[in-house]
Structure 1
Amino acid sequence: MSTVGNTPRWLAVAALAKIKNGAYSNLQLNQLINDHQMDRRDINLLTNMVYGVIQHRLTLEYWLTPFVRHPHQIDPWVRELLLSALYQWQYLDKIPQRAVFNETIEIAKVKGHPGIRRFVTGVLHQMDRSGLPSFDAIKNPDERLSVTYSMPIWLIQELRRQLGAEKMERILSSLNQPAKQALRVNPALSTVEDVTTALINDGLTITPSEISPLGLIATDGQAINTEAMRYGMFTVQDESAQLVVPALNPQPNDRVLDACAAPGGKTTQIAASLDAEQGGTVVALDIHANKVKLIGQNAARMHVADRVEATELDARKVETQFNAESFDRILVDAPCSGLGLMRRKPEIRYEKQLQDSLNLQRIQLAILTAVAPTLKKGGIMTYSTCTILQQENQDVITKFLADHPDFELQTTPTERDLKTDRTEKTLSIYPDDYLSDGFFIACLRKK
């Protein structure tokens, strides 16, 4: 077989076909990177192509449509091959068009039969001759925005309704920029200075986060493959997600409940601020046994296992195992639609509907209602999501407080005094604010 079978372009097409069939982009990519010996440049190209095609899928499909007469008759992998060629041609300016077309045709030849090779060659040459269709031809303004930013129309309309047209378009534009490689230093084991030095020595470029004191941004390499990562000096965690635990503000001798804890990023962050000798513990719940095991593994890697009790339990049934007023603080990092993560997990945008947020709202309220009695009087309960829709954010808090007059909303604190001009007490971080994930954090005190 031709050597084309191990190139980033070949692997990208294979990954895209599986992701379109329901596989997760991040897991699919990790598996390919682990299974194939690739240098850093090839890993970067593979990652860029897979995320790029998913991110811009609606745009790429709009461009491809006029050149494919019978779209349902072509194999899924051939469609992904053409979309990935379009993506490279239009978005990757360092790769010459000739190289893109030649390798695309070569992949069609090796992976398919002569008819597929002729078809792919014909489509590419026709696109080159005719030029791609303009967005200006789309008369409906929402449809035009949808194709321009590759976002579903329902989400465009909902964000406009909630945040206004200008903010909506800033968010859409920011979500197609590449995600940052954000790290959180583990203060139980190391310091920002030591981790920075260790990673620079491994050839990475490191800059401090502007929004989280323990945050670092890594470029020019994979931080996950370093000794410092294996030893637990830091973990991979988005800057926005790093704000949740400081808002909860656990004290060294607190007993804390992390109600929806897997895979344990925030659990280990809570645990790092506790002192096991003073009785500080975090009870970390998850509904699935394999995820409880994952929490335990993360706690061990981050050297905080002596402060973590990983427990298999549905947070909605917390009263079956814990008495009233058992905890000083409670974190509900609730299951959500994940729409704040679209830069990192671009396929989310095509999988969700508004109804999903409304269904999740019921689960989010049920969890808050179930865990509330286990919080001590004067204790803090922090609610967070990684979504940007008010149905799962402000609306949940408003409904919870209406049914629980023994709780009051407090202003969400941040160590860097973020968004001090905001009028609401909750904190909403949108993807365009700091180019981090979209997040929502609310702090509730039990009177």
Structure 2
Amino acid sequence: MTKTNNPRQLAVETLTKIEQGAYSSLQLNQVIQNSQIDERDVNLLTNIVYGVLQHKLTLTAQIKPFIKNPKKVQPWVIELLKTAVYQLEYLNRIPKRAVFNETINIAKHLGHDGIRKMVTGILHQMDRSGLMNPAHIKDPLERLVMEYSVPKWIIEQLIEQVGIDKTTTILASLNQPAKQSVRINTALIDRDTLIDQLTAEGYQVEPSPLAADGLILTGRSANAAKEFKTGELTIQDESAMLPVETMPIKPDQLILDACSAPGGKTTQIAEQLSLQHSGQVVALDLHESRLKQVVKNAKRMHLNDYITTKALDARKLDQVYADETFNQILVDAPCSGLGLMRRKPEIRYEKTSQDIEQLATIQLAILNAIAPKLKVGGQLTYSTCTIIDQENHDVLVAFLAQHPEFKLVPIKLAHVSSASGELRIYPDDFDSDGFFVANLVKTEASAS
């Protein structure tokens, strides 16, 4: 790939690397940092990259009839054609002539004359023949797959669990732009002062309708704010703030964050301990390298005095910790991440139903391992960033069947509550990530 500041070409290059395994958010951030493009072009680049990822199944089906030998076509050419169709179908303000000209020029710039001619021919053939319209698909399930570009197995699971109407509103929400949410570091700054400072810097700021310490920012990238650099705010989805909000954090508590990296919830716990000038959160992760990000975030937010990191598989706690060591335990369990499909659209194409089964098994093993380590009277907070019952509700049912010493307790937060003790946030509820939170209190010692 060649050096360029053309946002459409950068989108093609970014999408090609994502198809080869790169993470969308990391790859896009790297491209933006390494190029010299203005805010308007950053917005177009971001729109095209996420738009193509969100509509991947649909776009792939739409270009398929026009490519005779797809195996002989270079991957970047496929991505180029997807970007062209995305702009034609979903970005109404861009004239067709401009899309054609830009696409043909990129084909010429990245390839040779033969590729330019092929791309030119395909675009004109599309223009003459028209593109597949998902609304014309007769099978209702296939129509949903193509209309919202979500794999059939996920749609089937959602319909079974929440019904067709709720599933349709969830699917419709997934292809909308993700909000930019941040959490106030209340250990360093109060809400009103932070809002005033961000407004003065050119941000439009709104309070989160979901999280008590959440703000929604528009106008600029949140990581460009000086308050991000000084640790007075951190970037975190509103739903992801809820698990720690449900924790009754008190002075001198020793709290375990069993699956901590990259550390958003760890720093949220440490912030509450800092306000009380006592206590410690032990942050576990399988990999030392991932814990470096936890430490980096903690230092940026001036909370590292309240955090201890340890590279350890949470299923092996017996090797290090005695029973009834911790006052509270947070298990933000490894899961498919299907609640993040708006923010990380490639997740929907990567995960399988087999992955769900394996992750549910891992989650239950973690919960079983941490159960004896919680003190009697302590709270276990269990959360996942998914919207599939097999990875949250079903795991919880299995855990409670094996551990009668734990009891679900109601959740009551500033903006949401759950009398049952199981809080579900779907992506369409607040236009945030999908999340599940459950609170359990240990009423007696675990059986040995």
Q: TM-score range by the shorter chain?
A: over 0.9
The structure 2 residue matched to 1:437, chosen from 420, 433, 446, is 433
- Provide structure 2 residue ranges, at least 5 long, that are not aligned to the other structure: 444-448
- Deviates most, 131-140 or 32-41: 131-140
Q: CA deviation at 1:272?
A: 0.8
**What do the CA deviations read for 1:381-428 (whole angstroms, capped 9, x no partner)?**
000000000001110110000000111111122222x1x5x6743000
- Provide structure 1 residue ranges, at least 5 long, that are not aligned to the other structure: none
Mapped contact 1:255–1:279 kept (Cα < 8 A): no
Looking at structure 1, the residues matched to 151 and 2 of structure 2 have their Cα atoms a distance apart, in angstroms, of 39
Mapped contact 1:246–1:415 kept (Cα < 8 A): no
SS at match of 1:207: strand
Partner of 1:34: 33
Looking at structure 2, the residues matched to 275 and 254 of structure 1 have their Cα atoms a distance apart, in angstroms, of 11
Q: Is 2:363 the partner of 1:364? A: yes
Mapped contact 1:429–1:439 kept (Cα < 8 A): yes
Aligned pairs (5 A) from 1:10-409: 10-275=9-274, 279-409=278-408
Looking at structure 1, the residues matched to 91 and 136 of structure 2 have their Cα atoms a distance apart, in angstroms, of 24
Looking at structure 1, the residues matched to 288 and 92 of structure 2 have their Cα atoms a distance apart, in angstroms, of 46
SS at match of 1:249: coil
Residue 437 of structure 1 aligns with an amino acid whose one-letter code is D
Looking at structure 2, the residues matched to 130 and 350 of structure 1 have their Cα atoms a distance apart, in angstroms, of 28
Looking at structure 2, the residues matched to 16 and 278 of structure 1 have their Cα atoms a distance apart, in angstroms, of 46
SS at match of 1:350: helix
SS at match of 1:31: helix
Residue 118 of structure 1 aligns with an amino acid whose one-letter code is K
Mapped contact 2:250–2:276 kept (Cα < 8 A): no
Mapped contact 2:411–2:419 kept (Cα < 8 A): no
SS at match of 2:154: helix
Q: CA deviation at 1:6?
A: 2.1
Compared CA separation, residues 314 and 117, structure 1 to 2 (3 A)? same
Looking at structure 1, the residues matched to 136 and 177 of structure 2 have their Cα atoms a distance apart, in angstroms, of 28
Q: CA deviation at 1:71?
A: 2.0
Q: CA deviation at 1:138?
A: 2.6
Q: CA deviation at 1:278?
A: 5.5
**What do the CA deviations read for 1:221-248 (whole angstroms, capped 9, x no partner)?**
1110121100000000000011110112
Compared CA separation, residues 10 and 196, structure 1 to 2 (3 A)? same
- Deviates most, 87-96 or 328-337: 87-96
% identity of equivalent residues? 54
Mapped contact 2:335–2:384 kept (Cα < 8 A): yes
Deviant stretches of 4+, over 3 Å: 275-279
SS at match of 1:37: coil
TM-score by length of 2: 0.96
Q: CA deviation at 1:80?
A: 0.4
Looking at structure 2, the residues matched to 265 and 357 of structure 1 have their Cα atoms a distance apart, in angstroms, of 24
Looking at structure 2, the residues matched to 436 and 230 of structure 1 have their Cα atoms a distance apart, in angstroms, of 24
Looking at structure 1, the residues matched to 129 and 237 of structure 2 have their Cα atoms a distance apart, in angstroms, of 43
Residue 239 of structure 1 aligns with an amino acid whose one-letter code is E
Q: CA deviation at 1:130?
A: 2.1
SS at match of 2:391: coil
Partner of 2:446: none
Over the aligned positions, Cα root-mean-square deviation in angstroms equals 1.5
- Deviates most, 56-65 or 332-341: 56-65
Q: CA deviation at 1:127?
A: 1.3
Q: CA deviation at 1:311?
A: 1.1
Q: CA deviation at 1:354?
A: 1.1
- Deviates most, 311-320 or 436-445: 311-320
Q: CA deviation at 1:134?
A: 2.3
Looking at structure 2, the residues matched to 312 and 109 of structure 1 have their Cα atoms a distance apart, in angstroms, of 49
- Deviates most, 92-101 or 372-381: 92-101
SS at match of 1:293: helix
Residue 19 of structure 2 aligns with an amino acid whose one-letter code is K
SS at match of 2:65: helix
Residue 374 of structure 2 aligns with an amino acid whose one-letter code is L
Looking at structure 2, the residues matched to 70 and 375 of structure 1 have their Cα atoms a distance apart, in angstroms, of 59
Mapped contact 2:88–2:94 kept (Cα < 8 A): yes
Compared CA separation, residues 278 and 435, structure 1 to 2 (3 A)? closer
TM-score by length of 1: 0.96
Mapped contact 1:252–1:275 kept (Cα < 8 A): no
Looking at structure 2, the residues matched to 136 and 183 of structure 1 have their Cα atoms a distance apart, in angstroms, of 37
Looking at structure 2, the residues matched to 70 and 386 of structure 1 have their Cα atoms a distance apart, in angstroms, of 39
Mapped contact 1:253–1:275 kept (Cα < 8 A): no
Mapped contact 1:388–1:438 kept (Cα < 8 A): yes
Compared CA separation, residues 357 and 350, structure 1 to 2 (3 A)? same
**What do the CA deviations read for 1:76-95 (whole angstroms, capped 9, x no partner)?**
10010000011111111222
Looking at structure 1, the residues matched to 375 and 421 of structure 2 have their Cα atoms a distance apart, in angstroms, of 22
